[in-house]
Amino acid sequence: MSQSDTLHALVPDLRAICGDDGVLTDTAQRRTYESDGITYHAELPGVVVLPTTPEQVAGVVRLCAEHGVPFVPRGSGTGLSAGALPRADGVLIVTSRMRRIIEIDIPNERAVVEPGVFNLDVTRAAAPHGYYYAPDPSSQQVCSVGGNIAENSGGAHCLKYGFTVNHVTGLQIVTPQGELVELGGKAADAPGYDLIGAFIGSEGTLGIATRITVRLLRSPQKVRTLLAAFDGMDAGGRAVSAVIGAGVLPAAIEMMDALAIEAAEAAVACRYPEGAGAVLIVELDGPAAEVDSQFEQVTRLCRDEGAFELRSADDPAERTTIWKGRKSAFAAVGRISPAYIVQDGVVPRTALGEVLGRIAALSAESGIRVANVFHAGDGNLHPLVLFDDAEPGAGDRAEAVSAAILDLCIEAGGSITGEHGVGVDKVCHMPDMFGPDDLAAMDRFRRAFDPQGIANPEKLLPTPRLCGERPGARKGVHPLVASGEAELF
């Protein structure tokens, strides 16, 4: 039987598991699932299923395992690395109908949710009790907690509060063999290997999370946000270093350059100070006494580094005004450019200035504009590479600039992705960051979960089919070692 015949033959069984309305075979309907948050990777899924219970997910995966059919998990479909890119020969398992908040347990400071629950809804459910769920990716209103598990999502506030992996104590997963396994629960430190820790961020290659227990945090007593405007990125970058160097750990430090400010202004009229070459948003939260004294300190440091205008926000409405420009920045760039690529790379914070300078040089050489919006506190750059898709060759030049920026990140000792994940989009960049032995170790780990290789295949780890062989490329020497960034002790 051909692959599509195999898939076709599964449909009655899939319907028996998920119900008639839980299996999509109509072409027009399936096509709406052809891509996630980045549309330039698209593939018509063989079949789409919309299970409503963990048992249904397990049933579908077991069926796939029995027939050697690949499956791809998908949550809200907002990912930016094509991690949920479907397979024509596979089943797309969509968790968007599994969206019950099962429990808000305040005495134990935990929430138990299904994978399709929107991230922000966890906080909404906890808020009346004075609690919140800390990971806050920019798409938090729509991205699913299950998707956050796959990507180990962070957010603007992960500088202080960490990533999804730091906030999950229990997972129920369906393994690639279709077994339901409970890992951890409401208590910390589940015995045995920390499989929860390794599962989070595995991009759907180790199975599907079907129930998730997360920590809830007590809302901070006080939150204050500072907007500081500088003439240029250098001064802004110096202010970031000064703040971190002074021992202050803000909840968030975000920076935008002039082009990003221009875009945000066009989209949401955020009214950032006129003439700013860079704006810095610093948010402090915690006990009132701490926040107030640190706020003074941060304000002083920004002024010392040349901030020409400082605005502070102490209530939610004022904070929203300051954050509006930053949060809209990605989509806003659409207002100043017909097309753009959102890049996601990380550099050590001390390399920020140099890397930004080199990005500017790249931009100048290529004639491709680059707007910079980034999480300055942890060196996570989001260069927006702008181009006009109507102009012949512009797309290729933009792609080249975008890839060159990743090279700069690796060269500086950073990472090819801080939060968007590898997926399909960056899978061929993995050998730039990891050596063959590193990748082999990762592949062995994957095989331990998925010996058949049916869970989200060809994502996360490079394959010769996708990326070609790289004979001799950095063989045996770790790229970080080669770059002089790391020496083996």
Touching other proteins, residues 111-150 (CB under 8 A): 116, 118, 120, 130, 139, 141-143
Touching other proteins, residues 399-418 (CB under 8 A): 413-418
Cβ neighbourhood burial of 21 (10 Å; 0-12, 13-18, 19+): exposed
Does position 395 bind other proteins by CB under 8 A? no
Does position 387 bind other proteins by CB under 8 A? no
Does position 189 bind other proteins by CB under 8 A? yes
Contact 188, 169 (CB under 8 A): yes
- Binding mask 144-183 toward other proteins (x if CB under 8 A, else -) reads -------xx-x---x---xx-xx--------x---x-xxx
Residue of 2, 247, 274, 317 that binds other proteins (CB under 8 A): 247
User: Residue 181 Cβ, how far from other proteins at the closest point, in Å?
Assistant: 5
Residue type, 446: R
Distance CA 284, CA 294 (A): 8
Take residue 262 and report the two structure tokens written for it.
């221009």
Touching other proteins, residues 440-469 (CB under 8 A): 440-442, 444-449, 451, 460-461
Distance CA 165, CA 84 (A): 20
- CA-nearest of 486, 193, 233 to 348 is 486
Does position 371 bind other proteins by CB under 8 A? no
Distance CA 423, CA 426 (A): 6
Does position 219 bind other proteins by CB under 8 A? yes
Q: Which stretch binds other proteins (CB under 8 A): 1-9, 62-70, 89-97, 303-311?
A: 89-97
Does position 26 bind other proteins by CB under 8 A? yes
- CA-nearest of 346, 270, 276 to 313 is 270
Touching other proteins, residues 314-353 (CB under 8 A): 328, 330-332, 334-335, 346-350
Cβ neighbourhood burial of 315 (10 Å; 0-12, 13-18, 19+): exposed
* DSSP sequence for 269-286: ---PPTT-SEEEEEEEEE
Q: Which stretch binds other proteins (CB under 8 A): 54-62, 215-223, 226-234, 357-365?
A: 215-223
User: Residue 214 Cβ, how far from other proteins at the closest point, in Å?
Assistant: 13
Residue 9 Ramachandran class (φ > 0 left, ψ -120 to 50 alpha, else beta): alpha
H-helix or E-strand spanning residue 4: helix 3-18
Does position 104 bind other proteins by CB under 8 A? no
Residue of 375, 385, 402, 455 that binds other proteins (CB under 8 A): 375
Touching other proteins, residues 275-304 (CB under 8 A): 286-290, 293-294
User: Residue 119 Cβ, how far from other proteins at the closest point, in Å?
Assistant: 10
